[in-house]
Structure 1
């Protein structure tokens, strides 16, 4: 039987990142994936009609192009190309106009009129210093190389979005901030909810919110191709139930959340560590829709057709109330909806003249309810006539999302709630959260810092830790 220095379980963005990091150091590695293809949250499939390609989970990828790890890889040589829409995001309001997140701080600020200074004061320093700041905030807690820069970011990031929104005077400014913060999938009154708004705004202004040509699967395929070019091995359709089933290896790295870790036999965790994993908290789930469309979505403000993502929720107050209610287990009739339209920028996604669209809203964890009507009403609210363009639709309830990917516990696509108690101390309270109680076993999923998103940084940091622990190899 083959022997490996390391085996990585799970070929999502973090599993692929861990495998690449180890393989680049000359180790022998094997990447095992339980599903039919690599990708995890980066898969594309014809969910509705032939010729219509839909991203099953992630669709727009600001963090993929801004990731300190991904930016070091020659992924364009392996077929990955991005398109950057004219606007990173749009936020339409009931009166017919929209607030826009442009691909620069200056344009975004100017578009907000009276709130120009407030936006610059919040975002400009983060956008300008992203290259140095990102390596610090996208990893575990540690002493930073740039403490003053981090302190400036942290003072704003730790605040609830409901506080930082108070800096804005206009309805447009507050609404745009709400839409950005609501990507955190938790009440906007929670501490640290300003962090996700700051990061997404800054990255949008610095790099845009890009669309991968061919679908999110293109990112996974490029990562897998690069990994294999280094000599790495991939095995699909292999579900791990017992560590004893695996070939000989020195290190095991798991791209799994705590709920999955606890189901695997033979990991040798100490009782205390297992109890900590049992206490890990998951957040809201998502209900997701994909549509095959006969035409572009007819937004009242036509600029929305040129935005990578459209936030549908109207005012800050309405979005905050919806997120609070869903977090509290209630059904929301006017949910906050994240809507994307990849085919507007990538003509490989649909037959000529036709389009795809993708949307989800936040729902109570484990919900089985159907939110199709609620989501489509929100789209129709800001794009009258949208329903007339629908050719077919595909639904995923929160429970069905977990059925598709067991890491999405209860439909939680972030691998656990990213509130102040689990932003950096995930999945356990540790300065090296990628280590488990078994020194041969590591965790690299979105349940470790920096959390959810397609960036590969959790995988990179887990592999970096294992390299130092077992192979006396230190990397930057």
Structure 2
């Protein structure tokens, strides 16, 4: 008799888990409460008919090299990656932007005395991008498949970003470019292991790049759905699940949900100890999103910045460190860290008539209700004078609206939970089997499990492997 599985939640991790199971003959059914699948990887006409905006995730340094997506061969199902001229830029006041190039040598050359150190710091990822992705996209408390690159990475990763940047980089450009990548951790940059994100994001930019999906991030979902259709997976949208007992019998149930929703759905079936772990789960920094329709490119002071897929809009390394410190203390800085993506510069299929779409969000305290939109506008105006005059339309999505759109984004936390303390390594509980719950046959496959947030599908892929491992050992 064929095995059966149910997946609750159809974000990239849930869809990937379904694909991994179905590709090996499991009969899979997916339940999604929203009217369409995709979770945080959806796209839509937010700013007008024919204008494709990414409703959640935008640029994809992890997706393009994801072991799961490569194994599923999403590109054969229509997914096409588009690379901007530069993966990333970091504008600075009164001087040229620091630019992350597709090759490490060109990036390092702009830093003069820091060139050698820039290459050295990023070498583990720049030189071994696929090996390092395999290392860091699985449970961290395991023997990594590629030991030497991981050991070299660990010597750099364990440091606070402030310590590493100030110790090895002398130029403000190198510090700022490194710090902007490190800030994707949404941690204070004085925290241990925040340097890991600077190394990873910079190194991937040098190698596999930070591409966008042609036609919108939703095309990743479209490709995953094509895989599921090929394997006969059934997907029920508009079908909220409020209690596990509502579901048909299955050999495995996988939840693409964060701990808060898992407790609501399955709390009575979990052990007291496991429930306690989930109740102590901490959600992290939130996002306040603003999407813009402009009458042309952003008028950056350094015009090269217009050709960067991702732009870190905050200023100097010191300003960045200060902004992230305040945000993590529950305060909204006057000059928050703003991440911007200029997808339509690389992918003109998303817009027409010379107009441009600009995607952005600022780091804010979890659940913040502050009026952050004008602060984001001001940050753009600071590095692109005349920016406000280019705005045709704008749509703000504060943390509470993000959560209403996708309940996994608790308080606007786009990473499935804070990376502070042990939560960076023990997600979502202190166990060596992070995808298993205390209830036999029930698994978690969301960004609250390793490797955390991002569109890469690896939490779902790893959870499916955990299911197969248990079945091979006779567990149900």
**Please, what TM-score do these two structures have when normalized by structure 1?**
0.97
Task: Tell me the distance in 2 between the aligned counterparts of 1:306 and 1:450.
Answer: 30
Runs of 4+ aligned structure 1 residues displaced above 4 Å come to none
1:354 CA displacement? 0.9
Q: Secondary structure at the match of 1:418?
A: coil
Q: Secondary structure at the match of 2:275?
A: helix
Is structure 2 residue 13 aligned with structure 1 residue 14?
yes
Task: Tell me the distance in 2 between the aligned counterparts of 1:185 and 1:387.
Answer: 27
1:299 CA displacement? 0.5
Task: Tell me the distance in 2 between the aligned counterparts of 1:247 and 1:266.
Answer: 18
Task: Tell me the distance in 2 between the aligned counterparts of 1:431 and 1:66.
Answer: 25
Partner of 1:252: 253
**Any conservation in 2 of the 1:4–1:30 contact (CA below 8 Å)?**
no
Distance 1:137 1:257, change over 3 A: same
Task: Tell me the distance in 2 between the aligned counterparts of 1:88 and 1:345.
Answer: 10
1:145 CA displacement? 3.5
Partner of 1:145: 145
Superposition pairs of residues 126-137 of structure 1, within 5 angstroms: 126-137=125-136
Q: Deviations over 1:419-455 (max 9, x none)?
A: 3411120110111110000011000100001101111
Partner of 1:109: 108
Task: Tell me the distance in 2 between the aligned counterparts of 1:94 and 1:301.
Answer: 10
Partner of 2:75: 76
Q: Deviations over 1:343-371 (max 9, x none)?
A: 11111211221111011011111111221
Q: Secondary structure at the match of 2:315?
A: coil
Is structure 2 residue 42 aligned with structure 1 residue 43?
yes
Is structure 2 residue 422 aligned with structure 1 residue 421?
yes
Q: Secondary structure at the match of 1:274?
A: helix
**Any conservation in 2 of the 1:365–1:412 contact (CA below 8 Å)?**
yes
1:265 CA displacement? 4.5
**Any conservation in 2 of the 1:96–1:382 contact (CA below 8 Å)?**
no
Q: Deviations over 1:17-71 (max 9, x none)?
A: 1111101111101111111111111111111222222111101111100211112
Partner of 1:200: 201
Task: Tell me the distance in 2 between the aligned counterparts of 1:301 and 1:72.
Answer: 40
Task: Tell me the distance in 2 between the aligned counterparts of 1:438 and 1:26.
Answer: 24
Unaligned runs of 5+ in 2: none
1:389 CA displacement? 0.9
Q: Secondary structure at the match of 1:264?
A: helix
Q: Secondary structure at the match of 1:97?
A: strand
Task: Tell me the distance in 2 between the aligned counterparts of 1:138 and 1:265.
Answer: 27
**Any conservation in 2 of the 1:424–1:448 contact (CA below 8 Å)?**
no
**Any conservation in 2 of the 1:67–1:456 contact (CA below 8 Å)?**
yes
Q: Secondary structure at the match of 2:264?
A: coil
Q: Secondary structure at the match of 1:90?
A: strand
Partner of 2:162: 162
Aligned residue-pair number: 472
**Any conservation in 1 of the 2:108–2:118 contact (CA below 8 Å)?**
yes
Is structure 2 residue 173 aligned with structure 1 residue 172?
yes
Return 71-80 or 241-250, whichever deviates more.
Answer: 71-80
Task: Tell me the distance in 1 between the aligned counterparts of 2:73 and 2:263.
Answer: 36
Unaligned runs of 5+ in 1: none
Superposition pairs of residues 289-328 of structure 1, within 5 angstroms: 289-328=290-329
**Any conservation in 1 of the 2:131–2:149 contact (CA below 8 Å)?**
no
Superposition pairs of residues 205-216 of structure 1, within 5 angstroms: 205-216=206-217
Is structure 2 residue 276 aligned with structure 1 residue 238?
no
**Any conservation in 1 of the 2:124–2:132 contact (CA below 8 Å)?**
no
Superposition pairs of residues 91-110 of structure 1, within 5 angstroms: 91-110=90-109
Partner of 2:436: 435
1:471 CA displacement? 4.7
Task: Tell me the distance in 1 between the aligned counterparts of 2:473 and 2:440.
Answer: 14
1:74 CA displacement? 2.1
Task: Tell me the distance in 2 between the aligned counterparts of 1:122 and 1:409.
Answer: 34
**Any conservation in 1 of the 2:134–2:145 contact (CA below 8 Å)?**
no
Q: Deviations over 1:383-442 (max 9, x none)?
A: 111111111111111111111111011110000011341112011011111000001100
**Any conservation in 2 of the 1:322–1:335 contact (CA below 8 Å)?**
yes
1:457 CA displacement? 0.8
**Any conservation in 2 of the 1:426–1:447 contact (CA below 8 Å)?**
yes
RMSD of equivalent CA atoms: 1.5
Task: Tell me the distance in 1 between the aligned counterparts of 2:145 and 2:359.
Answer: 40
Task: Tell me the distance in 1 between the aligned counterparts of 2:405 and 2:25.
Answer: 34
Task: Tell me the distance in 2 between the aligned counterparts of 1:419 and 1:451.
Answer: 12
**Please, what TM-score do these two structures have when normalized by structure 2?**
0.97
Q: Secondary structure at the match of 1:51?
A: coil
**Any conservation in 2 of the 1:161–1:189 contact (CA below 8 Å)?**
yes
